[in-house]
Amino acid sequence: MSVSTVASAQPLCAQLPVLGRDVTVPLVTGGEVAYAALDYAASAPALQRVWDDVAAYAPYYGSVHRGAGYLSQLSTDLFENARKTVAEFLDCRPDDQLIFTRSTTDSLNLLAAAVPADCQVFVFETEHHASLLPWKDARVTYLNAPRTPRQAVETLERALADRTVSDKEGYGPALVCVTGASNVTGELWPVRELAAAAHAHGARIVLDAAQLAPHHPVSVRDLDVDWVAFSGHKLYAPFGSGVLAGRADWLQAAEPYLAGGGASRKVTRREDGGVAVEWHESAARHEAGSPNVIGAYSIASACKALTEAGFDTLVAREQHLIEKVRAGLAEVPEVRVLSLFGDDAPRVGVISFVVDGWNSSHFAAALSAEYGIGVRDGLFCAHPLVRTLLGSDPQTQGECGAPEAAPGEKSLNAIRVSFGAGTPDEHVERFVTAVKELVRDGAKWNYRTEEGRCVPAV
């Protein structure tokens, strides 16, 4: 069996088939309903195409880079071909490295461990915590939330210019970290312009594409970014896989992210009784241990599926869903949609909002229990941004995704609805109807807080 026969040739359409589309869930009011998964920004359902490809490969599973046997050779070939497929999906440069990781968070922590010791990192307060927090060993400059894309570029330019002028002994390396699309508002960021500003001031830039890659094509070359990171579980692949791709020099110069087999090329005993290690300079340097071949293959399968479906078609259909949701929410005066850049800003299928008179966790619980609709509530692991959008003290602590007060009480959290290539029109239509009914009529059930979550009272 060759690697090519593992991949399926399933035809694709604009609404891509996903796992769970036929799952039904019970309602507290009685009966069952088809589950409307509208939390794609946290984890998108796996594409049926991806699941079928993985199932076709599973009987041929073998150790990677280790074995002489046929299945080991097949798995190694599959793993390295997956690397090529994902690099093509990202339009990487010929000398870029592509490293398979566990997630976007893992990818950015890997890069943070590889930045030079004297590196200064610039990051907007609007970032997801995966981009905001890993830089503990670097000098970090946090930039205030911009209110327009142009202001974002100007803010970065000023910060980088101040760095150039203020350091009398010259300035060392610098890195800018920025999202491609907000996980809170869905708004697209001016990545190409931010990259140009970074490079004009001698800085490098890493793109957090966790929310961008599932919705829009991402070209490392066209955007002119130095690195890009994303997660498989947001790209319609199963959990546990991610990607960091980009320039090789900092990665090759850094100590391996994890020390162990696979990362080492040669290990010998020294005369003093210790060991001497020669590390790989390839991507293997940061892929110690037995690799997640199924995770890598599933990402590659998802990349192929999205490419074959055509991003033009997918983007057009998603825009249709965005307009449906935004138009429906606009008809409810009590609803306030959160935005940095304004109503006309281009965005992906991620929309956050609050409802006057409602605790957001109470509202989300009612959507689930009474309508079979799964959304997100909380601060979405982007605490400073959500607090800024809600007009609260950005220093106040909170817990990701968990309500901070009982139903009906004032609480600092919001509701997020998100969707993508596998979302049918019926799901967003049911969501809009449910929002209107809850605001007009109130919840049909009583709710209470249990272990930090708002749940139906028994």
Question: Cα(291)–Cα(67) distance, rounded to whole angstroms?
Answer: 13
H/E segment holding residue 227: strand 227-231
User: Considering Cα of 442, then 447, then 448, then 450, what sign does the dihedral take?
Assistant: negative
Residue whose C-alpha is closest to residue 159's, from 147, 177, 181, 137: 177
Measured CA angle at 83 (ends 79, 86), to 5 deg: 130
Q: Which of 92, 119, 177, 381 is catalytic?
A: 381
Question: Cα(219)–Cα(325) distance, rounded to whole angstroms?
Answer: 29
Helices (H), 115-186: 129-132, 149-166
Question: Cα(18)–Cα(56) distance, rounded to whole angstroms?
Answer: 17
Q: State the DSSP code for 352.
A: E
Question: What region does 65 belong to: left with phi over 0, alpha with psi -120 to 50, or beta?
Answer: left
Question: Cα(105)–Cα(400) distance, rounded to whole angstroms?
Answer: 15
Query: Residue 113 has which token pair?
Result: 């461990």
Beta-bridged to residue 174, according to DSSP, are: 120
Residue whose C-alpha is closest to residue 325's, from 345, 308, 350: 350
User: Considering Cα of 288, then 291, then 296, then 298, what sign does the dihedral take?
Assistant: negative
Query: Residue 401 has which token pair?
Result: 């995704």
Question: Cα(71)–Cα(76) distance, rounded to whole angstroms?
Answer: 8
Our answer to whether residue 381 is catalytic in this structure is: yes
Dihedral over alpha carbons 249, 252, 258, 263 (to 10 degrees): 140
Query: Residue 404 has which token pair?
Result: 């901070």
Query: What burial letters (b/e) apply to 136-148, b meaning 16+ CB within 10 Å?
Result: eebebbebebbee
Active site residues: 381
